[in-house]
Amino acid sequence: DTEVTQTPKHLVMGMTNKKSLKCEQHMGHRAMYWYKQKAKKPPELMFVYSYEKLSINESVPSRFSPECPNSSLLNLHLHALQPEDSALYLCASSQDSHSYEQYFGPGTRLTVT
């Protein structure tokens, strides 16, 4: 099983809403990642979790709050987002923090109105 799953596939939220994105992998990977991808741009790293601990935060605004409840799950909590936060949010995992190959989920298409 080399699959990373993400839910929901699409999300529309208002600027005052609170919502969460979910990511799951069952490959036994110990590193998980959140990326943001705007249209016609490459994915940009947001957060890295290694062994369930936050290891990298790429100066992401606090309205994005990551959480890693266990080694298989990764959440991204959203609150008071702006329209410019509309993007494709991608989750990825790798065997551990020393592994180069990352495996991506299909993404959540987020629209902030």
Partner 1 sequence: DQQVKQNSPSLSVQEGRISILNCDYTNSMFDYFLWYKKYPAEGPTFLISISSIKDKNEDGRFTVFLNKSAKHLSLHIVPSQPGDSAVYFCAANEGAQKLVFGQGTRLTINP
Q: Of residues 46, 74, 90, 112, which one binds partner 1 by CB under 8 A?
A: 90
| Residue 7 in the binding site for partner 1 (CB under 8 A) | no
Where b means 16+ CB within 10 Å and e means fewer, 17-38 reads eebebbbbbeeebbbbbbbbee
- Cα-only R_g, the chain: 13
Q: Of residues 15, 18, 61, 99, which one binds partner 1 by CB under 8 A?
A: 99
DSSP string for 11-62? EEE-TT-EEEEEEEE-S---EEEEEEE-TTS--EEEEEEETTEEEEE-S--T
Q: Of residues 24, 25, 29, 31, which one binds partner 1 by CB under 8 A?
A: 31
| Residue 42 in the binding site for partner 1 (CB under 8 A) | yes
CB nearer to partner 1: pick between 13 and 103: 103
Site residues, partner 1 (CB under 8 A): 4, 6, 31, 33, 40-45, 48, 50, 55-56, 90-92, 94, 97-107, 109
